[in-house]
Amino acid sequence: MGWVEAAIILFGGLMAVMGLGLPVAIAFLGLNIAGALMFLGGEQGLSQLARNAVQSVTSFSLTPIPFFILMGEVLFHSGVALRAIDAFSRLIRKVPGRLAVITIVAGTVFSAISGSTIATTALLGSLMLPTMLDRGYDKRLAMGPIMGIGGVDMLIPPSALAVLLGSLAGISISGLLIGGIVPGLILSVMFVGYIVLRAWFDPALAPETGDEPAEQGAARWVPFLVHVLPLLLIFGVVVGAMTAGWATPTEAAALGAAGTIAAAWLYRSLTVANLMKALTGTVAISGTILFIIVGATTFAQVLSFSGATNGIVGLVAGQGLSATVVILGMMLILLFLGCFVDQVSMMLITLPFFMPLVVQLGVDPVWFGVLFLICMQLGLLTPPFGLLLFTMKGAAPAHIGMNDIYRAAMPYVWFGLLIMTLVFLWPPLATWLPRLLGS
């Protein structure tokens, strides 16, 4: 059997099983078993598949994932996030679109302490959306910032999906985590500028309520110093420990998780009940991710043994296309997939033949990884199946339809495309900081 037929069977089978609505992990497991029987030598192939599956989830590089997820779970279940939002509300005053700006600023800080985009969006949606709607905010201006900043969570460390991408693609995890910081912060600044300008030109979109906190002078900064600065210090410890070489990404993630639990305990917000909720949520999410990793790794091996990977790579390389054109084509494929499949599926489908091309073309893997993360971030926001769109639907009042949510997300999709273009045209946006810090 030639590689073309093997590729058609494997990718056609993948589309078929995913089209049945099966969970991603189950779909890949079934396809991998069939592929092992066909391309890995029957029963011996199944034994090899089982050994490879065990090796794929016992990799030390994956251990930051549960720690990063635990950080976010503790932050949200303990109520520490509520204190941080209140601190920002006391600090940010007399700004057009004030509540939406608070959402962006608070969401950026949560991105630096949480490894889950959906958790960030769900929290801000449940807390900030009702408040903005009650104050007379335009529904699209109220929902858009919540979804937009939820996507930024993927770029700013800690990010569980960045760790997963680095592990599956063979990219430096610390370099990838740090490489997303500058593009993520630029996106946040763009969001704030957009909101302020829209509210300034059309005050009816975000009415002034006149009920800003009355604290003056240094008193305004006390909640920030007490409830926000410690969270930023945890972020500094995680990033600083990795970049200084004092700790591996796993050890830095463990420090971050311990720091988050300690902060919740010092705030007297940590109870046995909410700690158990955080641990249970961490186990559930981490288990799902690890199960998917088994499917991803074994699928890549089946593709390789079938000859499909080498065939596809050779076909593309034989066209004589420049690295720029090839990477641009990859980004277009990812943007298309982001409209229809989740972020993990995007990685599983594309990495087996994207990464050999990246290596063969001599492309900077950190730069490519950050572009990949931005494409996945856009996939969270693009209709019809962006995960954050449905997360917002769950938090929004019943009278708000999906069309309203789609329209609310579109400005932030355009900003995401803009930052992707900037990183594509000027790679130092993604590579400068990792190189400066030696990652």
DSSP symbols for 127-179: HHHHHHHHTT--HHHHHHHHHHHHHHTTTSSS-HHHHHHHHHHT--HHHHHHH
Supply the pTM of this predicted model: 0.81
Q: Which residue has 């997303």 as its token pair? A: 180
Beta carbons of 410 and 383 less than 8 angstroms apart: no
**Secondary element (H or E) of residue 331:** helix 323-338
What's the pLDDT at 418? 95
**Cα–Cα distances in Å, from 106 out to 114, 124, 437?**
12, 9, 26
- 396 membership: H or E segment, kind and range: none
Cα–Cα distance measured from residue 290 to residue 304, given in angstroms and rounded to the nearest whole number: 21
Lowest mean pLDDT: which of 48-57, 89-98, 429-438? 48-57
Report the largest interatomic distance among the alpha carbons of the chain, rounded to a whole angstrom: 76
Residue type, 127: L
Contacts of 186 (CB under 8 A, 6+ apart): 419, 422, 429
Q: What percent of the chain has pLDDT over 70?
A: 89
Per-residue tokens: 175: 């370099």
Q: Yes or no: say if 268 and 78 are a contact pair by the CB < 8 Å rule.
A: no
Contact 367, 430 (CB under 8 A): yes
pLDDT reading at 51 higher than 90: no
Q: Which of 89, 158, 73, 162 minimizes the C-alpha distance to 123?
A: 73
* pLDDT, position 316: 73
Burial letters for 304-325: b for 16+ Cβ neighbours within 10 Å, e otherwise? ebbbbbebbbeebeeeeeeeee
Work out the angle between the directed axes of helices 428-436 and 365-379 (0-180°, nearest 10): 120
Q: Which two tokens stand for residue 396?
A: 């929004």
Segment 333-388, tens digit of pLDDT: 888 888 777 777 788 778 888 888 888 888 999 999 999 999 998 988 888 778 78
More reliable by pLDDT, 121 or 439 = 121
pLDDT value of residue 81: 79
Least confident segment among 6-20, 167-181, 189-203: 6-20
361/338 Cα distance (integer angstroms): 24
- Asked whether the beta carbons of 311 and 3 are under 8 A apart, the reply is yes
From first CA to last CA, the distance across the chain in angstroms is 43
What distance in Å separates the CA atoms of residue 359 and residue 364, rounded to the nearest whole number? 8
Instruction: For residue 84, give the nearest of 119, 48, 115, 109 by alpha carbon.
Output: 109
Closest by CA to 123, choosing from 281, 234, 262, is: 281
Q: Are 295 and 352 in contact (CB under 8 A)?
A: no
Average pLDDT in the 284-311 region?
Answer: 73
pLDDT of residue 183: 94
- When pLDDT is cut at 50, 70 and 90, the band that residue 298 belongs to is confident
The tokens describing 73, both together, are 């779970």
Q: For residue 209, give both structure tokens.
A: 């309520």
Give dist(CA 364, CA 434) in Å, integer: 12
Per-chain mean pLDDT for the chain: 82
Q: How confident is the model at residue 212 (pLDDT cuts 50, 70, 90)?
A: low
Residue 150 above 80 pLDDT? yes
3-state secondary structure of 386: coil
**In this predicted structure, what is the pLDDT of residue 31?**
76
Which is more confidently placed, 271 or 310?
271
To the nearest whole percent, how much of the chain has pLDDT over 90? 17
